[in-house]
Structure 1
Amino acid sequence: MTHADPGAKGALAQRWLACAAQQRQTLEYRLTCLAFERIADGQPLPLGEAQAALGKAPEDSRDLIDRMARQGRLTLDEHGDAIVAAGGLSLIPSRHRLVLNGRQLYTWCALDAVGIPAGLQANARVESRCAACGAPVWLEIEAGELRSASHPDLALSLVAPDLSRSLRDGVCAEIGFYCCRAADEAGVRGLMSVAAAVQLGRELCRYGPPI
Structure 2
Amino acid sequence: MGDFDQDTLVAMLADTSEAPGAVAAVQYHGLVSLLDGLPPTVSDIAELSGLSPDEVEDGTRALIDAGRIELDGDRVVGVGGLTLNTTGHALSLPNAQMHTWCALDAVGIPAALGLTATVETRCPHCGARIVVHVADGGATAAGPVTLFCPTGPCDNVRTDFCSAANLFCSPIHVSDWRAEHPSRSGEDLDLAATVDLGHAMWGRYQHARDEAETSG
Any conservation in 2 of the 1:15–1:161 contact (CA below 8 Å)?
no
Any conservation in 2 of the 1:16–1:161 contact (CA below 8 Å)?
no
**Higher RCO structure (Cα 8 Å, ≥6 apart):** 1
Equivalent residue runs for 1:17-166 within 5 Å: 17-19=10-12, 26-52=21-47, 53=49, 55-56=51-52, 58=54, 61-77=56-72, 80-146=73-139, 148-151=140-143, 153-160=144-151, 162-163=153-154, 165-166=155-156
Q: 1:149: how far off?
A: 1.0
**Partner in structure 2 of residue 3 of structure 1:** none
Any conservation in 2 of the 1:42–1:105 contact (CA below 8 Å)?
no
- Root-mean-square deviation (Å): 2.4
Any conservation in 2 of the 1:120–1:144 contact (CA below 8 Å)?
yes
Once residues 141 and 20 of structure 1 are traced to their aligned partners in structure 2, the CA distance between those partners, rounded to angstroms, is 23
**Partner in structure 1 of residue 205 of structure 2:** 208
Moved over 4 A (4+): 19-25
Once residues 50 and 61 of structure 1 are traced to their aligned partners in structure 2, the CA distance between those partners, rounded to angstroms, is 7
Q: 1:76: how far off?
A: 0.1
CA 1:204 to 1:85, structure 2 compared with 1: closer, same or farther past 3 Å? same
Once residues 203 and 53 of structure 2 are traced to their aligned partners in structure 1, the CA distance between those partners, rounded to angstroms, is 31
CA 1:8 to 1:86, structure 2 compared with 1: closer, same or farther past 3 Å? same
Q: 1:106: how far off?
A: 0.8
Letter in 2 for 1:62: E
Any conservation in 1 of the 2:31–2:82 contact (CA below 8 Å)?
yes
Encode CA deviations 1:93-123: one digit per residue, 9 max, x unaligned: 1100011234211111111111111111111
CA 1:63 to 1:27, structure 2 compared with 1: closer, same or farther past 3 Å? closer
Once residues 81 and 152 of structure 2 are traced to their aligned partners in structure 1, the CA distance between those partners, rounded to angstroms, is 13
User: What TM-score comes out, normalization by structure 1 length?
Assistant: 0.82
Q: 1:142: how far off?
A: 1.4
User: What TM-score comes out, normalization by structure 2 length?
Assistant: 0.80
Unaligned 5+ segments in structure 1 are 1-5
Any conservation in 2 of the 1:54–1:61 contact (CA below 8 Å)?
no
Any conservation in 2 of the 1:154–1:178 contact (CA below 8 Å)?
yes
Q: 1:14: how far off?
A: 1.7
CA 1:54 to 1:171, structure 2 compared with 1: closer, same or farther past 3 Å? farther
